[in-house]
Amino acid sequence: MIENNKLYTDTIDDLRRKIKGGVYLVVVPSEGIDKVLPKVKAALAGGVDVLQIWNHWHEGQDQKAFINSIVQLAHAADIPVLINEEWHWLKSTHADGVHFDAIPADWDTIHQTIKRPFLTGITCGNDEARIGWATRFADYLSFCSMFPSASAGACEIVRPEVVKETRRQTSLPIFVSGGITPALIGNLLLLGINGVAVISAILKADDPAQAAHDFKHALNQSK
């Protein structure tokens, strides 16, 4: 597939190689593209490895235009972009995949409808069913929330032993989120994680590039 003279892979094996761990930034689109895009650009410069567009839109927002703007910026840096829940956008944009908050009831239909390879992730919490689904169908999984957090307010607090047991079950990349700071990463790596998912710690930082760098540095230093 070629867009703007850039060749994008259409093999799932190549796509999977793009998510191994690192800093996973969840983008909140409701602030609008004019405010969000400069922050995302700075965060990418700081070392973000994966982007997800959260399905928190403001009324009347041009969702497709927002997605396309983020994808164009991220693909220029060879960074994959996933859509939260709204998998139908994979039909009309070049987003790389979908992140689910629950096991999709229409998984077979999704695969039949999206006629190209795409990445899949899921937030698991302490739910054994979601963890089991992830090990069978996902390319990575995440746990929310490790600590109390305003951004992850709807998530349950994850028991550390659940993350450790999941690492014993699968070699998939594991991300954790919720109240995480660079100072906490060393202990979290002991659970077997590969990366951290972040929202406000980067997007609300005075210097998103530096904030992303600090997370990336902590992940690399603690290995």
| Close Cβ partners of 139 (under 8 Å, ≥ 6 residues apart) | 15, 16, 19, 97, 119, 120, 121, 172, 173
Burial of 110 (0-12, 13-18, 19+ CB in 10 A): middle
**E strands along the chain, which residues?**
2-3, 6-7, 22-27, 50-53, 81-84, 97-100, 119-123, 140-144, 174-177, 195-198
pLDDT digits over 72-100, tens only? 999 999 999 999 999 999 999 999 999 99
In a domain, 210, yes or no: yes
Phi and psi at 197, nearest 5°, equal -105, 135
Q: Which residues of 78-104 are buried (b: 16+ CB within 10 A; e: fewer)?
A: ebbbbbbebbebbeebbbbbbbbbeeb
In a domain, 183, yes or no: yes
Whether 151 has a pLDDT exceeding 90, the answer reads no
Distance CA 44, CA 143 (A): 23
* SS3 at position 83: strand
Give the range of the structural domain holding residue 93, as residue numbers without chain letter: 2-217
Distance CA 187, CA 179 (A): 14
pLDDT digits over 4-57, tens only? 433 345 566 777 668 999 999 999 999 999 999 999 999 999 999 999 999 999
| Close Cβ partners of 172 (under 8 Å, ≥ 6 residues apart) | 134, 135, 138, 139, 140, 141
In a domain, 111, yes or no: yes
In a domain, 118, yes or no: yes
In a domain, 222, yes or no: no
Long-range contacts of 16-19 (CB under 8 A, 24+ apart): 16/119, 16/139, 18/50, 18/78, 18/79, 18/80, 18/96, 18/119, 19/49, 19/50, 19/80, 19/119, 19/121, 19/139, 19/140, 19/173
Number of structural domains the chain divides into: 1
Q: Distance from CA of residue 31 to its chain's centroid?
A: 19
In a domain, 223, yes or no: no
pLDDT digits over 112-146, tens only? 999 889 999 999 999 999 999 999 999 999 999 99
pTM: 0.92
Give me the CATH number covering residue 48: 3.20.20.70
In a domain, 213, yes or no: yes
